[in-house]
Structure 1
């Protein structure tokens, strides 16, 4: 999704003084009337809570959630207290706070646009089809592979004609310059954004994927034999797409909008939770943060009711069942309405 200056409705709260950094990514402030205000930014997610004057000043125990939204695509350095006041519309003793929202490592001023998204794909010719689709829809796009040699402190860059399934990383670029000159400049130490008009990084995150989608480890720890549960989970790969560009860069803006449309057509969003023992849908809160998944994964799940994107063990037993198990076993499946969507022809 796109990120720029966070769209937050001003809280219009007047503080006694600037919020105090309490460590562990928490800030604390108090309004003129004594209301406790807690601010926390973790991995790009901003949450603001409050508690009445006689209540707690512990962030995690404050009862009112005033703001809860992602404002940055990934981890960022902790902004200064005045930045939070500017973003949230907090005043200090009636004085409006203005700050520099463009710091080293992040830009929340709105002058820079960020894109970051995470997607799941099958291991068989799935992400390669996605890359080919972008190349087909936007013929001027070129592919670069850049490896950073930390020992030699230099880049190793080369242009490629197509992406292979064993590749972990690729950059989609647009440039009016000679491609060989771009490669040479990067190998000599130039930064990618300095020599191209647009870039988008596709990066495999599978080696950082610590979750056990198959459930084997969790089930075995609870001495639950897998063969007692009738389910299958597809082998998956996880990828991240990310880029940043200046707001007034029309080439980058128009290109990213086209790619975003391709992403929306190729990957599907939304999952439902099922009881892994009965394969019945459960009335449980949806996981809106679950990564989008390719239509190939959706097709595979639609083939049989015991096909799942991922499974896991719940902490609470399922209620109203005979011979209630010690643990609950759950599975993610695509939303049923997604099965009716148009399937891409590869």
Structure 2
């Protein structure tokens, strides 16, 4: 079990920042100000180092925020990088109830005798059974897909079917191997935002349909995982089952759902992943994406589009889409 934490300090988050004339550095963020952590707290050279000693990190950051003499920097003068480069990336599919119901109803076979209402009712019953008796659907991603929260997303020219998937991402802060759902949240350092871009026409292998999905090709192109802007400690992020996930495309809302619609919560996902994979500080566990992807709207990403994604209390990321040849 995790050690008791001191009383919460004023709200803060962690990030990685850069200026034109200095290397990247880990920073503590409060409102629109940043304090460089190099030399200020043990392991403050990078957010990954801070995650390696997470219990001590929290105590040191709490103490730091109470100091009146902090040398604050203006956030507007800094470039915001991904909060850290993860180790392992564990992803979750089909984990929002409404999303799956929408997909089942929208993609009925032409000879399906059911009307939309009946198809939705059948899908809802299926999801209820899955929540009661099933297990999460998990697979692995690559950290090389990560880009910053305000970086361009490069759309590869080999497809025109790139889609958005905004997700809550849990950041591991304590080693976890075969942990129970009851203990799993003790191993979560905090939360951040991930946009798990997917190339829809590469999800299924047409040349070998019997092997099913091909997540390597569909999800892991460079810049296909915008991350951040910040890592918010779990004690200050609110209830992970009651956060609003919202993505707009060119100012128009596409996804707007509560994490309460997840079939399997963060604790169940971390526990399920840890049954097979030893999780380490700096690993990510993505929790799936809610209803409102491009496939639902019949509108996929194009050169010049701007995505803006936010999750309650975790900040906002904003990414412009550019065609590969225009990078």
TM-score range, shorter chain: under 0.3
TM-score normalised to the size of structure 2?
0.23
* More contact order relative to length (CA 8 Å, sep ≥ 6): 2
TM-score normalised to the size of structure 1?
0.22
Per residue, is there more helix in 1 or in 2? 2
